[in-house]
Amino acid sequence: MTGTLTTRGGRSVAIGAGGLAVLLGALDTYVVVGLFRQIMDDLQIPVNRLERLTPVVTGYLLGYVAAMPVLGQASDRFGRRRLLQLCLGGLVLGSAVTAAAPSVPVLVAGRVVLGVAGGALLPVTMALAADLWAEHRRAAVLGAVGAAQELGSVLGPVYGIALAAVAGWRGVFWVNIPLALLAMLAVHLSVPARRAEGGTSPVDLRGGALLAGTLGLTVVGLYNPEPAEQVLPDWGVPALVGAVLAGTLFVVHQSRARLPLIDTARVPMRPFLAALGASLAAGAALMVTLVDVDLFAQTLLGYDDHGAVLLLLRFLVALPIGALLGGALASRLGERGVSVCGLLLAAGGFGLMSTWTADVLSAAYRLGPVPLPKADVDLALVGFGLGLVIAPISAVVLRLTPPEQHGIASAGVVVARMTGMLVGIAALSAWGMHRFHSLTATLDVPLRILFDSDEQFRSAMDDYTAALREAMVTQYTEIFAITGVVCLAGAVCAALLGGTRTR
């Protein structure tokens, strides 16, 4: 290590610049949650055609997931600073296209560019931490980087709503430009310009393309805009068959490639795959919470966008707290134990959420003289548990892989997490909507003409509304219960990480 990076202060400045880049990328991931209504009014999208905005979310996530493996490996080839600056430049371009978009297709294109740019910021910064810190101090630094990512999830929805109230939804993306330029300057001044170790190796574009195709086709095949009619869309089976074929070609290519994305001969595959499985489970749980708690608040608790985001804050604030503590504990207690405990806590939280009712806001735990609101405790427990998992899993993967593969290894962890987010929410939402329609299939809307009096009609309408609400509660609580099982499966994966802790 040369220059100022030989000092603790120099390394801290470098990782701080990377953390700022991670924060900007995380803000863009979640900021759009509170902007849908303004976007619909501006682009004249009817309320009954909300599905037109779905690609605004899925396009970003697909770009994020698809580009990450190649960009992570490219950082091993060309160096961390160059990739961070390239991605921040993409953030500027994508923000400008999104802010100026005159139509939904252009808006989606801008979001895809933002997703591609944001896809490498987290894994490259994690790899930078591995470059600059020894193993015995690395987990705590990774926890701080993970906390920056989760802070973006906390601030994103609130930041978007607050800024849009002053500057409109387009202003939210215009503001990204000076922030990204500031981050580029900080990266230029603090992150080393040298190439990463192994910098003469080419980037496996073919392997990255096959992996991106596998993930993209899987998500497209599972996304169904009409879940009431069928579980999969008309294009679902062909897309999933294409995903299987692309995945098979990827495995064959990796077995024969001279320089595969991950060199399986040098990486212990059981703990490596176990780490990816735990990350996938955590990602699915994260996205289910973000989406379904928001919908629960709006459809059953009568909240608007602002109120739903405020309810989610219990979960979102606990995430970065868990990420910071998870990094510190992993350095002392070992990655496996912290990861298992985190996923078990999250599973317990989802088990508690599976008992929610439409009156959950009035429920409380009586553990002392001060009652603890049930919704607050349940959401905080899930957020804290999922936060604990972030740093230990990343530390395991970086410890298992050689330094010249730290970029792609870090990308693999985040790809697994984002894939869990995409596939988990697509599959569980489709199942949940199908379940809701099956529960309400025998209900008939009361017609006034069929009743002798207004009182009988109102009574029948009240019974109908109550049955609909009960079906909604069943839909959400069953999704929460299934997500708890997913977390338990993730805990089993975490138990296979191995007993060696960061030395």
SS (HEC) of 345-392:
HHHHHHHHHCCCCCCHHHCEECCCCCCEEHHHHHHHHHHHHHHHHHHH
Q: What is the average pLDDT across 23-29?
A: 79
Question: What's residue 129's pLDDT?
Answer: 79
Q: What is the average pLDDT across 184-210?
A: 68
Q: What is the average pLDDT across 24-37?
A: 75
Q: What is the average pLDDT across 301-321?
A: 81
The candidate with the shortest Cα–Cα distance to 326, out of 308, 313, 345, is: 345
CA 68 to chain centre: 13
pLDDT digits (tens, 9 = 90+) for 98-140: 999 998 889 989 998 998 888 778 778 877 877 777 766 666 6
CA 350 to chain centre: 17
Q: What is the average pLDDT across 289-312?
A: 79
pLDDT at 46 over 50: yes
pLDDT-derived band at 367 (thresholds 50, 70, 90) equals confident
pLDDT at 267 over 50: yes
Say what the pTM is. 0.72
pLDDT at 165 over 90: no
The candidate with the shortest Cα–Cα distance to 143, out of 387, 314, 417, is: 387
Q: What is the average pLDDT across 400-409?
A: 71
pLDDT at 4 over 60: no
Highest mean pLDDT of the ranges 43-47, 132-136, 455-459: 455-459
pLDDT-derived band at 193 (thresholds 50, 70, 90) equals low
CA 47 to chain centre: 26
Say if residues 299 and 472 touch (Cβ distance below 8 Å).
Answer: yes
Q: What is the average pLDDT across 283-298?
A: 83
User: Which residue do the tokens 């990655």 mark?
Assistant: 335
User: Which residue do the tokens 């405990």 mark?
Assistant: 341
Question: What's residue 502's pLDDT?
Answer: 45
pLDDT-derived band at 3 (thresholds 50, 70, 90) equals very low
Question: What's residue 204's pLDDT?
Answer: 66
Say if residues 161 and 309 touch (Cβ distance below 8 Å).
Answer: yes
Least confident residue range of 137-141, 172-176, 218-222, 377-381:
137-141
Work out the burial of residue 63: count CB atoms within 10 Å of its CB; fewer than 13 is exposed, 13-18 middle, 19 or more buried: buried
pLDDT at 381 over 60: yes
Q: What is the average pLDDT across 74-84?
A: 79
> What amino acid is encoded at 481 in this protein?
A
Q: Write down how long the chain is.
A: 503
Rounded Cα distance, 381 and 391, in Å: 18
User: Which is more confidently placed, 347 or 205?
Assistant: 347
pLDDT-derived band at 2 (thresholds 50, 70, 90) equals very low
Say if residues 109 and 97 touch (Cβ distance below 8 Å).
Answer: yes
Rounded Cα distance, 281 and 450, in Å: 50
Q: What is the average pLDDT across 8-13?
A: 69
pLDDT-derived band at 15 (thresholds 50, 70, 90) equals confident
Look at the domain 1-199 and name its fold.
Answer: Growth Hormone; Chain: A; (1.20.1250)
pLDDT at 157 over 50: yes
pLDDT-derived band at 82 (thresholds 50, 70, 90) equals confident
With a pLDDT cut of 90, the percent of the chain lying above it is: 16
User: Which residue do the tokens 């009817």 mark?
Assistant: 46
pLDDT at 265 over 50: yes
Average pLDDT, the chain: 79
Q: What is the average pLDDT across 243-257?
A: 84
Highest mean pLDDT of the ranges 394-398, 462-466, 493-497: 493-497
pLDDT at 246 over 70: yes
pLDDT at 500 over 60: no
Cβ neighbors of 40 (< 8 A, separation 6 or more) are: 46, 47, 50, 53
CA 211 to chain centre: 18
- Indicate the Cα dihedral angle 401, 274, 323, 329, nearest 10°: -80
Q: In this structure, how many other beta carbons lie within 10 angstroms of the beta carbon of residue 102?
A: 9
Q: What is the average pLDDT across 321-329?
A: 86
Look at the domain 268-503 and name its fold.
Answer: Growth Hormone; Chain: A; (1.20.1250)
